[in-house]
Amino acid sequence: MIVASERIPVAGPSITEREVELAAEAARTAWYANHYAYNLRFEAMMADYVGVKHAVSVPHATSALHLILAALGIGQGDEVIVPDVTWIASVAPIVYVGAEPVFVDILPDTWCIDPAAVEAAIGPRTRAILGVDLYGSMCDWHALEAIAQRHGLHLIEDAAEALGSAYHGRRAGCFGEAAAFSFHGSKTVATGEGGMLVTDSRDLYERVLCLRDHGRAPGDHRRFINQEIGFKYRMNGVTAALGVAQMERIDRLIAHKRAIFGWYRQRLDGIDGITLNAEPAGTENSYWMVTIVLDAALGLDKFELMAEFDKRNIDTRPFFSPLSSMEAFADRPAARRLIGPGDRGQAIARHGLNLPSGYNMNEDKVELVVAALTEILVEKGASITPKHGRRLSAPALQGFP
């Protein structure tokens, strides 16, 4: 049996002396009048990179989505259409504001929300559509924009997993009225925890600033007059400093993610019954998580496959399970009425797995993971004929990190 000599994690950041330097500097200096200096730098870098006018640093992407929904006035009695297959953090904020999620099926290639199912799910209580750029893939934003405009609905982008991805010349985070990013320790840009809300709307931006700071008007640093009950969703200066250091080399980080995917794709080429992350024409995938979906005929579900990898000292993550099937939504009728084929997302989620995709990955580790996968499939009776091409020199990674 192939066993890694050291545990191969499924995800992890790239931290250099620059991150350490800026975090220490923020710990010493981000106080008094300078307390928000690193946040301003981080916000400006994100807005510039994404291509939007405004960015607001927050504790995590969940809080960003919560603020967007609250700022748009979505609440009790409203419905928001969401993909059935995503992490629960995409959907929980809908419940926070008192609205109901309506789950629809996903597309078979990008694994993102199906626009046809969205159209079918629209009812008299529908107020918004929330698209999730899953695992770095991009939604069909042209179709979603047309649907939202036709029906007068708000459109929100959950870009938590897609920093650096692009759709027809526009980067993830540019779509809808506002978008959310995550800087969790597993993400492309990592600050441990942390998130960013981005928007082109000045009105929405100012509304978010008020809601983010206990309902105080932007700039009220002395009077402490609360206009309403808001939230406490501010990012601290040390976290922002880590984000600044990460954004200084965002292009190299994205290049590494794409190179990791390239190494996997090259080595998995020729193995029947395995589908990888898609990159349709007109899109660019940042490949946050290299993900495989096995053909059901191979006879392995994701949890069985995870167990086999675990025996080989390799960490993996399961493809997100359908939310409509989870106990957390059992008492929500709107969430239980899945719109669309339904079996599509169920099948993808049942047989999907995230492979090790952290910044510690190199060609040797990818080779080992693929060899382990090949061994597992052969043991389970699969007939495979992988064709390994020449090793990639990956010039974009010279000098990484």
143 and 130 in a single domain? The answer is: yes
The token pair that represents 116 in the structure block: 């046809």
230 and 290 in a single domain? The answer is: no
| Domain stop point among 200, 220, 247 | 247
255 and 160 in a single domain? The answer is: no
Does a structural domain hold residue 10?
no
Would residue 181 be called left, alpha or beta, if left means φ above 0 and alpha means ψ between -120 and 50 degrees?
Answer: beta
Higher pLDDT, 274 or 222: 274
Q: What confidence tier does 334 reach under pLDDT thresholds 50, 70, 90?
A: confident
**Contact yes or no for 74/310 (Cβ under 8 A):** no
Per-residue pLDDT at 392 exceeds 90: no
For helices 202-212 and 61-71, angle between their N-to-C axes, nearest 10 degrees: 120
Direct distance between the N- and C-terminal alpha carbons of the chain, in angstroms, rounded to an integer: 33
319 and 232 in a single domain? The answer is: no
Number of H helices, E strands in the chain: 13, 14
* pLDDT tens digits for range 104-141: 999 999 999 999 999 999 999 999 999 999 999 999 99
Pairing of strands 126-132, 79-83: parallel
Per-residue pLDDT at 37 exceeds 50: yes
- Listed in sequence order, the residues at least 6 apart from 372 whose beta carbon sits closer than 8 Å to its beta carbon are 2, 4, 309, 312, 314
143 and 183 in a single domain? The answer is: yes
What mean pLDDT comes out for the span 341-348? 82
Q: What confidence tier does 99 reach under pLDDT thresholds 50, 70, 90?
A: very high
Percentage of the chain beyond pLDDT 90 is 85
Residue 359: CATH number of its domain:
3.90.1150.10
- Listed in sequence order, the residues at least 6 apart from 244 whose beta carbon sits closer than 8 Å to its beta carbon are 22, 38, 41, 42, 45
Per-residue pLDDT at 50 exceeds 50: yes
Residues 123 and 69: their CA atoms lie apart, in Å, by 19
Per-residue pLDDT at 183 exceeds 50: yes
Can you tell me whether residue 16 is helix, strand or coil? Answer: coil
Does a structural domain hold residue 369?
yes
Q: What confidence tier does 389 reach under pLDDT thresholds 50, 70, 90?
A: very low
Overall number of domains in the chain: 2
256 and 235 in a single domain? The answer is: no
Using H for helix, E for strand and C for coil, what is the string for 77-88? CCEEEEECECCH
Residues 145 and 181: their CA atoms lie apart, in Å, by 20
Residues 180 and 197: their CA atoms lie apart, in Å, by 5
153 and 238 in a single domain? The answer is: yes
Per-residue pLDDT at 393 exceeds 90: no
Higher pLDDT, 265 or 337: 265
Would you state the pLDDT for residue 173?
A: 98
Where in the sequence is the domain holding 350, given as residue range(s)?
250-397
Residues 16 and 401: their CA atoms lie apart, in Å, by 7
Of 221, 233, 196, the C-alpha closest to 42 is 196
276 and 238 in a single domain? The answer is: no
80 and 206 in a single domain? The answer is: yes
Buried b (16+ CB within 10 A) or exposed e, 85-122: bbbebbbebbbbbebbbbbbbbbeebbbbbbbbbbebb
174 and 268 in a single domain? The answer is: no
What does the mean pLDDT of the chain come to?
93
Percentage of the chain beyond pLDDT 70 is 93
Does a structural domain hold residue 7?
no
The token pair that represents 395 in the structure block: 């010039």
Per-residue pLDDT at 71 exceeds 80: yes
Residues 14 and 400: their CA atoms lie apart, in Å, by 9
Buried b (16+ CB within 10 A) or exposed e, 36-49: bbbbebbbebbbeb
What mean pLDDT comes out for the span 348-370? 97
Instruction: Flag whether the pTM goes above 0.85.
Output: yes
Residues 276 and 371: their CA atoms lie apart, in Å, by 16
Would you state the pLDDT for residue 391?
A: 42
Per-residue pLDDT at 323 exceeds 90: yes
Per-residue pLDDT at 273 exceeds 70: yes
Per-residue pLDDT at 372 exceeds 90: yes
Residues 70 and 36: their CA atoms lie apart, in Å, by 24
Residue 92: CATH number of its domain:
3.40.640.10
Q: What confidence tier does 384 reach under pLDDT thresholds 50, 70, 90?
A: low
Q: What confidence tier does 383 reach under pLDDT thresholds 50, 70, 90?
A: low
Would you state the pLDDT for residue 396?
A: 43
167 and 264 in a single domain? The answer is: no
Backbone angles phi, psi at 55, to 5 degrees: -140, 140
Of 54, 66, 63, 65, the C-alpha closest to 199 is 54
Does a structural domain hold residue 1?
no
Does a structural domain hold residue 389?
yes
* pLDDT tens digits for range 219-265: 767 678 888 999 999 999 999 999 999 999 999 999 999 999 999 99
Q: Say how far residue 236 (Cα) sits from the centre of its chain.
A: 22
What mean pLDDT comes out for the span 47-55? 98
Lowest mean pLDDT across 11-15, 188-192, 196-200, 218-222: 218-222
227 and 205 in a single domain? The answer is: yes
Does a structural domain hold residue 378?
yes
Can you tell me whether residue 201 is helix, strand or coil? Answer: coil
Would you state the pLDDT for residue 333?
A: 79
Does a structural domain hold residue 4?
no
| Domain stop point among 191, 226, 247 | 247
What mean pLDDT comes out for the span 277-281? 97
Does a structural domain hold residue 55?
yes
* pLDDT tens digits for range 135-174: 999 999 999 999 999 999 999 999 999 999 999 999 999 9
| Domain stop point among 195, 220, 247 | 247
